[in-house]
Amino acid sequence: MSCRLHNRNAGFTLLEVLVALVIVGTALGASLRAVGSLTQNSGDLRAAMMATWSAENRLTRIRLAQEWPAIGSRQFPCPQGELALLCDEQVLATPNPYFRRVEVGVYDSEHSRRIIKLTQVVSNAQ
């Protein structure tokens, strides 16, 4: 019986290295896509939070001043920090003449998309 000694260097073949690179590349691509998605979502959440503040500010101003708003609609700028926003206020009649419905929609500066819409019912204090 002859005993053969294998003088083979231990290591990875080219095929194994290429498969490992494909796996690592796929994982890195997926993680980059996830990070990009999180960045976009955080920007949208920030805009929604600031738009909510703008709408709540207007509705609180009406409530604290005990205004009886006139029926109709109007638009006015309502910026928050460096974010330029446009508020669209609509006052609608309700079936009860002692109440009015106030809707404040907040849009981005180009008025192309509504970020948020809040509604409040106001009573006539008189």
Structural domain for 23, as ranges = 14-123
Does 126 have pLDDT greater than 70? no
Report the CATH number at residue 28: 3.30.1300.30
Which three-class secondary structure state does DSSP give residue 75?
Answer: strand
Whole-structure pTM over 0.85, yes or no? Answer: no
The answer to whether residue 8 sits within a structural domain is: no
The answer to whether residue 111 sits within a structural domain is: yes
The answer to whether residue 6 sits within a structural domain is: no
Cβ-proximal residues to 72 (8 Å cutoff; 6+ apart), any chain? 90, 91
| Structure confidence by residue, pLDDT tens digits, 53-75 | 999 999 999 999 887 899 999 99
Q: In 66-115, which ranges are continuous DSSP H helix?
A: none
| Structure confidence by residue, pLDDT tens digits, 23-53 | 999 999 888 888 887 777 777 888 899 999 9
* Res 113: pLDDT: 86
